[in-house]
Amino acid sequence: MDGKTRKNLKPGMQVFIVLKKDQRSGTLTKGVIKQLLTKSPNHPHGIKVRLEDGQVGRVKEILTHKPAPQH
């Protein structure tokens, strides 16, 4: 699964995203999805999400296929 299809993503999932400032270098940031920001069902560069720590970027890789348990 990749991060280009919205239905594959849910809050609580662990993902790698690329931040806007890292798009040229391709540096990935690991985090847990807090909110899906892209409204369309698909996006060629990845669905934009907000992580629990507040960072915003496009999903490049999904690490967990089901949401992590909430504490």
Q: Which CATH code fits 6-62?
A: 2.30.30
**Residue type, position 59, single letter:** V
- For every one of its 71 residues, what pLDDT tens digit does the chain have, with 9 covering 90 and above? 779 999 999 999 999 999 999 999 999 999 999 999 999 999 999 999 999 999 999 999 999 866 556 55
Q: Can you give the pTM of this predicted structure?
A: 0.87
Q: Is 22 helix (H, G, I), strand (E, B) or coil?
A: helix
Per-residue pLDDT at 69: 60
Q: In the 8-state DSSP scheme, what is residue 42? A: B
Distance CA 39, CA 64 (A): 22
Per-residue pLDDT at 2: 78
Would you tell me how many other CB atoms lie within 10 Å of the CB of residue 16?
A: 17
Distance CA 26, CA 18 (A): 7
